[in-house]
Structure 1
């Protein structure tokens, strides 16, 4: 884009801001908001205190003025122009601060602290904690940092910005001596929010009264020794539900406040709230949108990137940026607080650790949060977008695009995830192109606005991401996207006294309100997009924009040391990835003869296709007069039709930026397969499950997965997972009937249900490499492990053990342990299954060890024996398949005695000393007999942790045919298995009463494994 055009857009953005700000100052001030349609002030609703959509935001403390100060400071750095933009904005910035001080005082305890409206923010007003922190506290702190020169303003020089401004005031041309008034007011406002942090969870209550605190939260620990204020807003029915964003997105503002004032209360309270939310993440790494600040549980169970949780992810990354290079905070309360003292909610808890204060810990939280989002919410079908899933299972819950989620592309750009940022931003660009705004929600499934959620209140998220991606790429595409937004706002939202939001983006009906964030964020990001040489765009420092668009920085004191490296605790994370982006990537290379790498992407039109943009008339393309229609009287006339549908977007993009030889890749399609089982399918052992489930075919087993009782009439939909290397292509069950599954949810089915299945699209296969050895070990009362009087019909928790189970079985253990024990009495029919012997009055522990079969010329098939029962079922039987064992240690070169093969079922050897083939050649020849040798088990020498037995064992090679000790080829080759575990496994085998085999099975369809189906 030509520099002159960029300058024109910059001037138009300045005009847009002042059209709203000037009318606010002249008409609405000192009220909270401006009603741009009716040109009257918008105030709180005193007749309906529960009108939270209005009252939560309008704090009755000149919100729009506070929210606009940092934008004025940024405009004050405008390059010289004929409108005198920079000096005017600087004067308005200083005059706005003077007006604010006149209303609320200078924050001191004496007479100067009393303003015309209140002493500080001592107003009887119930406000939302989150909105007050990000708009009020954040706006005051950001303006203070500009005022004292810590954030840059061109031409505005402060002699010694690191000195105490309270001792050396800055004298302004309007007569105000700035000595930190905004910082003191921000401190006063933040202190009035501290009562909300008196909860058992550490997360703040959603609301607080700026004068009376929280008398309406009767269960707060604050009231243990304090009587409730009778003059407060004593509504005992006040809800305790907050959101993850509201509870966890206070760290930036409160940390800067603590560092500037030396008062650690705010930083520690905000960090504790953040970690309290993060600690409640689900086993798959997702956080919910709604959470109860008092009880601590999720509300609703939805997880997404938009409303409810958006800024939590933002603050995880930005807190790392803000704190990087700084020392760990001092958590000790100073003997004297500069501006007085009030409550300290941190006294309820143990102090935060160095890890919880470390910037690296916040980076880890971001990495793992983003990894879980990419795993469970990111859909690469058609064009990448993010869905809404269940917080615990990851199963899809809704298919909409959230307007608030448009921020995520910009956050990804800051984090260095540039390609993901660009591809997801394309979607919002197409959506804006279609509606000339972003609807609150857009349904991917229906291709239209979700229900009645079609409003756009002037939100900044899309232009915010546009700005951040442009700063990372310098691709002119994003300048044209910004121009589109500016033109559409000017065309649709202008009113004589400001800028309104849209009540419905489809009809263009305006709403009677101008939000403070329109001036505080939308106009700000737009301006910075069109002012590439702005000092903030060239500032080499760890500054961040808050979720309300206020720039913040922690001033570095002279001689300050860099942060001490804190060892970060290694919490178990489900999606840790060594390939997390930790550096800023280079911008995409421009293709030949093109000015935009984004416009040349082969997936450019995928986003347009998903939004159905090609079906929408392009109102900016002109008309096509060639189409002729007939009137009722038979006369023909040209029909006014739009010239074409959208062929490129944004609509301001010139064709010169489109590559002349560009190619569009095929849409990303997801290969699916649906299997419908007939309703008359007979299952051999389904009766026990029917007794348990009452005949239900499927049952959700907590958050671990789905259990299939019967395939009768069941419909399975599978999707084909294709990794980039295409080596592990596999099916994944996506839904069962109308029940969608999460990406990592397992489907559990017993092998008995599949025993008689003969379907080319769904058949059971036996694993030819891995098998499980089941050890039966008697538990004696002398060892204190089990009471000898316990009935054998009551499975004990300690009677089931699994050592080194395969991953799927490890996951299945916790799921089915209690479940199968409940139905043990139904399944336990040893007379029919294992012979007529009665069950002895004994208790056994069943240990499962993975084993691997050999390969090579000397490999022999395993004996065809009845399978041992599943150890997690709790079934107690007298004996497994084999009872007699011979332990031969390494057994190399010396022939074993005849009794080893004639009177023992199993020979156990230690690995080492000679080859596997040589070990087998020490076994005498023998005639097959029911009491003779059936199996050789070789135990590796690695003394691994029992939980990993079987995972580190390589497959043994029998490189020659089996031979007898005399060198003759063995007529009846001996089956062999190898297990891991070293000494511990060898000793476990020595204590075994009997041993059995349990085969492993999986299900295949069309030659590919069904990866998330676990056969038990």
Structure 2
């Protein structure tokens, strides 16, 4: 990745991890006394591919293209587990600086170049990566000789399209907020939890990028927001707070940025909707009125007061004025060019000619074909724009959410002033007016748009006000849980983890929930979005021990037992293979092996890391201190395997046994024995009556699925008198592994894909008599693997599953441990 800046007098020494460190340095003494700044931004490192690739293709020198692509993939490879990238990155160490992610400053053009690189390179052959052998100056460095050459996949334009698709999917999942009207927030790069709630002026480019990507509806709805913001201030403030409804942190300047008009241009070219011509006219008239000076075009120091800045940025002519010009000049050659050309992030049109004679001959390699990228869940073709209404002529003005963006910007509270004939009056500020009295129209659209463009029967849908609920728990200093749990959290109520927040106690907590509907979630239910001062990302979970919820009796927050799924816990002895310690030796005693408490199934899903931390804590607490003297007798250690099980349906269903629930081994590892130790293995149990000792002297009977119906299997069990050492449960093992694809998650093999077994008849004895006490049955997955594990189990227990409901709906992201 490139440095943010280079001193052209002294250069930059190769950093410590570079293969060329110490070999080439014009001023090594300068490097030691004045280290360079290494913090670059994702946009700066990832926005080189277009220019450098065109340079390489026109000159025949591949080094520029390879260096730029290498920098792009270096940034993309460091994206977080949820697909987000940060704004600042250390060019030498490669770690993120700061934990925020967004679409604006520091990140913007990275996404832009991911898509535009695909557009520019589509239809062209993969690049030549070999430098001509007769380059005269040996100091010209070749990236493909310093490092391994980039692969065909790294050079393929389809790989850049894939990167864009995944980047946009992560943005839509974690940064896109559809409350009131769609907009983008800034979130934590690793958790997705919202961090700031302001609109970035630089983020106005994203609507245009979405247009190029074929995401037309999202582009139109987000562009409406910036149109309303410009209508309010006659410019775009650098930052605007959605929460406060005003300029954020005093950042009210507009230096002539082009992003909004750039998106307006792209949307007009895609839709031909006159709405965007009127939006461009509004921008043009406001700039002319507020920014013209005798010596050029100034920016605005404060959009609220109209104070000018004594500065004219280069991008005003290079981009802002250029996109305005192209918006209104339909016959410009760039608007008629039928080719894969793109504008760079600085507004320069680039194209790679189909046939180019390189300045220097070079060896052409035989490239391997690269399969084009395609995914049905992503937009790979541009949609047809919405049809223009026959009378009003604007599909955008006819949108039912037209006024939602305006009300989010509070346009209904801030009047806009202009004269009836369309000529704006001069003004010094929004409050100090000169000339005739202004006319207040409280417009909700570009003030240049005539009312005739709006449909006469136009309606507006209600703003999206998500249903939320807040629950506050009373403070109770006496509430506590098990010692290991408290110690891990340091006696605090909350601790943030990589997958969410663990809750040690509900005492004094304030939980905010939001109601989510499909397709955002699989089923209608609540999502916890905040706990006290913690904000949660969309995919973060809340972990609470069932012990914390045991005594909670609240209609807004109560524990509910799962009637379909349970967990079977296996206790398996671990062979003692540790070498014996010689007590008479003068050496230090060897440390004893740590106890192993292991959950080998994914029954807790996202709580695996939570259990891992508990495991480390309990192991550390139980580890005895090393002492001299005779070694005590070895202690038997166990591991625990959790297997999900599903209950049956039908006339033959019996309630599960009312047995003491197996403890969580991560919270209570010193378990002598679980509920059941006597197990009988009956294979398929379809060949007649089982021995009488099977139900009388065994607490569990294990059967394989298949061969006969579930009812027939239970009918082979002889009658028996109820006893605590008698039969308590029948476990049927389904051989569902055979039906799974090779790439399916391992947790599916433990029963998550199981269908509830059907007991179509009332349970009967081998003699055909109806059982007075039906036998409880469950089914597990895993086939032969599970069957053999059950054989090795020292004892078996059962753990109920729970979830938490509020007002009759499940809290989907709350996990009960």
Tell whether the structures are fold-level matches, with TM greater than 0.5: yes
The reply to whether residue 819 of structure 1 matches residue 614 of structure 2 is yes
Measured after TM superposition, the shift of residue 776 of structure 1 is: 1.4
Q: 1:577 to 1:773 in 2, by over 3 A?
A: farther
SS of structure 1 residue aligned to 2:682: strand
* Distance in 2 (alpha carbons) for counterparts of 1:217 and 1:990: 59
SS of structure 2 residue aligned to 1:988: helix
Per-residue CA deviations over 1:244-285 (Å, capped at 9, x if unaligned) read 101111111111111111212111111111111111111111
Measured after TM superposition, the shift of residue 782 of structure 1 is: 5.5
* Distance in 1 (alpha carbons) for counterparts of 2:178 and 2:315: 32
Moved more, 368-377 or 589-598: 589-598
Per-residue CA deviations over 1:385-419 (Å, capped at 9, x if unaligned) read 00011111111111110000000000001101100
1:414 to 212, 215, 220: 212
* Distance in 2 (alpha carbons) for counterparts of 1:553 and 1:527: 20
Alignment of 1:68-467 (within 5 A): 203-210=1-8, 212-215=10-13, 222-229=20-27, 236-337=34-135, 342-467=140-265
> Does the Cα contact within 8 Å between 1:890 and 1:910 map onto a contact in 2?
yes
2:695 to 885, 893, 901: 901
Name the structure 1 match of 2:465.
Answer: 669
Q: 1:998 to 1:399 in 2, by over 3 A?
A: same
SS of structure 2 residue aligned to 1:967: coil
The reply to whether residue 845 of structure 1 matches residue 639 of structure 2 is yes
The reply to whether residue 970 of structure 1 matches residue 771 of structure 2 is yes
Q: 1:505 to 1:685 in 2, by over 3 A?
A: same
Q: 1:622 to 1:615 in 2, by over 3 A?
A: farther
Measured after TM superposition, the shift of residue 689 of structure 1 is: 3.4
Q: 1:698 to 1:389 in 2, by over 3 A?
A: same
Q: 1:592 to 1:955 in 2, by over 3 A?
A: farther
Alignment of 1:293-692 (within 5 A): 293-337=91-135, 342-557=140-355, 565-567=369-371, 578-591=376-389, 593-621=391-419, 642-680=438-476, 683=479, 685=481, 687-692=483-488
Q: 1:219 to 1:853 in 2, by over 3 A?
A: closer
SS of structure 2 residue aligned to 1:811: helix
* Distance in 2 (alpha carbons) for counterparts of 1:795 and 1:279: 38
Name the structure 2 match of 1:739.
Answer: 534
Measured after TM superposition, the shift of residue 747 of structure 1 is: 0.9
Measured after TM superposition, the shift of residue 998 of structure 1 is: 1.2
Name the structure 2 match of 1:174.
Answer: none
Name the structure 1 match of 2:652.
Answer: 858
Name the structure 1 match of 2:806.
Answer: 1005
2:547 to 752, 755, 759: 752
SS of structure 2 residue aligned to 1:996: strand
Contiguous gaps of at least 5 residues in structure 2: 358-363, 422-434, 580-588, 624-631
> Does the Cα contact within 8 Å between 1:764 and 1:1002 map onto a contact in 2?
yes
Per-residue CA deviations over 1:317-347 (Å, capped at 9, x if unaligned) read 1111111112211222221349996233443
* Distance in 2 (alpha carbons) for counterparts of 1:309 and 1:707: 32
> Does the Cα contact within 8 Å between 2:12 and 2:36 map onto a contact in 1?
no
Per-residue CA deviations over 1:803-823 (Å, capped at 9, x if unaligned) read 3x24xx222112331234314
Moved more, 759-768 or 585-594: 585-594
Per-residue CA deviations over 1:431-490 (Å, capped at 9, x if unaligned) read 111111111111111111112211111111001100111111110000111111111111
> Does the Cα contact within 8 Å between 1:241 and 1:290 map onto a contact in 2?
yes
Q: 1:339 to 1:528 in 2, by over 3 A?
A: farther
Per-residue CA deviations over 1:626-684 (Å, capped at 9, x if unaligned) read xxxxxxxxxxxxx9754333233111111111010000110100111000001127536
SS of structure 1 residue aligned to 2:797: strand
Measured after TM superposition, the shift of residue 981 of structure 1 is: 1.1
* Distance in 2 (alpha carbons) for counterparts of 1:338 and 1:791: 64
* Distance in 2 (alpha carbons) for counterparts of 1:725 and 1:526: 38
> Does the Cα contact within 8 Å between 1:940 and 1:979 map onto a contact in 2?
yes
* Distance in 2 (alpha carbons) for counterparts of 1:872 and 1:469: 56
RMSD: 2.8
Measured after TM superposition, the shift of residue 515 of structure 1 is: 1.4
Name the structure 1 match of 2:425.
Answer: none
Moved more, 372-381 or 738-747: 738-747
SS of structure 1 residue aligned to 2:397: coil
Q: Which has the higher helix share?
A: 1
2:594 to 782, 790, 794: 794
SS of structure 2 residue aligned to 1:207: coil
* Distance in 2 (alpha carbons) for counterparts of 1:364 and 1:790: 53
Alignment of 1:699-718 (within 5 A): 699-701=495-497, 703-718=498-513
> Does the Cα contact within 8 Å between 1:792 and 1:841 map onto a contact in 2?
no
SS of structure 2 residue aligned to 1:802: coil
Measured after TM superposition, the shift of residue 951 of structure 1 is: 1.8
* Distance in 2 (alpha carbons) for counterparts of 1:827 and 1:417: 57
SS of structure 2 residue aligned to 1:999: strand
> Does the Cα contact within 8 Å between 1:379 and 1:385 map onto a contact in 2?
yes
> Does the Cα contact within 8 Å between 2:480 and 2:505 map onto a contact in 1?
no
SS of structure 1 residue aligned to 2:796: strand
Per-residue CA deviations over 1:850-871 (Å, capped at 9, x if unaligned) read 1100011111111111222224
The reply to whether residue 993 of structure 1 matches residue 788 of structure 2 is no
* Distance in 1 (alpha carbons) for counterparts of 2:67 and 2:468: 49
* Distance in 1 (alpha carbons) for counterparts of 2:616 and 2:179: 41
Q: 1:790 to 1:850 in 2, by over 3 A?
A: farther
> Does the Cα contact within 8 Å between 1:216 and 1:234 map onto a contact in 2?
no
Q: 1:704 to 1:726 in 2, by over 3 A?
A: closer
Contiguous gaps of at least 5 residues in structure 1: 1-202, 570-575, 624-638, 829-837
The reply to whether residue 951 of structure 1 matches residue 752 of structure 2 is yes
Moved more, 447-456 or 375-384: 447-456
Q: 1:722 to 1:987 in 2, by over 3 A?
A: same
> Does the Cα contact within 8 Å between 1:821 and 1:873 map onto a contact in 2?
no
Q: 1:696 to 1:541 in 2, by over 3 A?
A: same
> Does the Cα contact within 8 Å between 2:14 and 2:20 map onto a contact in 1?
no
* Distance in 2 (alpha carbons) for counterparts of 1:483 and 1:777: 76
Q: 1:902 to 1:839 in 2, by over 3 A?
A: farther
* Distance in 2 (alpha carbons) for counterparts of 1:951 and 1:735: 29
* Distance in 1 (alpha carbons) for counterparts of 2:75 and 2:672: 50
* Distance in 2 (alpha carbons) for counterparts of 1:966 and 1:827: 53
SS of structure 2 residue aligned to 1:482: helix
> Does the Cα contact within 8 Å between 2:67 and 2:143 map onto a contact in 1?
yes
Name the structure 2 match of 1:960.
Answer: 761
> Does the Cα contact within 8 Å between 2:114 and 2:164 map onto a contact in 1?
yes
* Distance in 1 (alpha carbons) for counterparts of 2:570 and 2:555: 35
* Distance in 2 (alpha carbons) for counterparts of 1:329 and 1:346: 13
Name the structure 2 match of 1:729.
Answer: 524
